[in-house]
Amino acid sequence: MRTLISTAFVSLDGVMEAPGGEPGYRNSGWTFKDVEFLPEAFEIKGREQQEAAAMMMGRLSYEAFSPVWPGMEDFAGYKVMPKFVVSTTLGEQDLVDDWGETTILRTLDDVAALKETEGGPIIIHGSASLTRDLADADLIDRYHLLVFPLLLGAGKRLFSGTDKDTQKLRLVEHEAYGNGLQKNVFDVVR
């Protein structure tokens, strides 16, 4: 069985929208505009590329990352690994040619079936709606969170507002940095 890992930059109040400068959000670029950069706080991002066997995204994240990440040295590890895009609307003609093998999954049942296959961890970047849906379906196994010391107020949230039973998490790794960032790695307890 494969492990599904959600990785996200998140504000202290749970917002994950537009951390890298994506247009259309009032606080766009909050990860680099408002907090001093300390390389050691981002060590986990390099480790994710080394440890993941595949990457998963929703359609919007795929459309944002696929024109940029294939040519970026910082994300070279992701270029060669298989990618899965969960979308009901994306077609094969919408996939880029220079980013390796990409498979479109249509439903959460498809994701659940993928988790049952052999292989290493699958990392999910961004993908707010997909992450919330996967968490509500109890398909996420681990969270890698870089929590920024900011309160952004409005914006897309990492976790859903669904009224559901308590989901217990176990903290397996953590660190606080001089710029106020916190790394928190949680396993989902089942």
For the stretch 127-164, pLDDT in tens is: 999 999 999 999 999 999 999 999 999 999 999 989 98
Q: Which of 104, 67, 62, 109 is nearest to 86 (CA)?
A: 104
pTM: 0.94
Largest Cα–Cα distance of the chain, in whole Å? 46
SS (H, E, C) 30-96: HHHHCCCCCHHHHHHHHHHHHHCCEEEEEHHHHHHHCCCHHHCHHHHHHHHCCEEEECCCCCHHHCC
Q: Is the dihedral of CA 96, 97, 103, 106 positive or negative?
A: positive
Contacts of 177 (CB under 8 A, 6+ apart): 38, 40, 41, 183
Q: Please write the tens of the pLDDT for every residue from 51-109.
A: 999 999 999 999 989 998 898 888 888 999 999 999 999 999 999 999 999 999 999 99
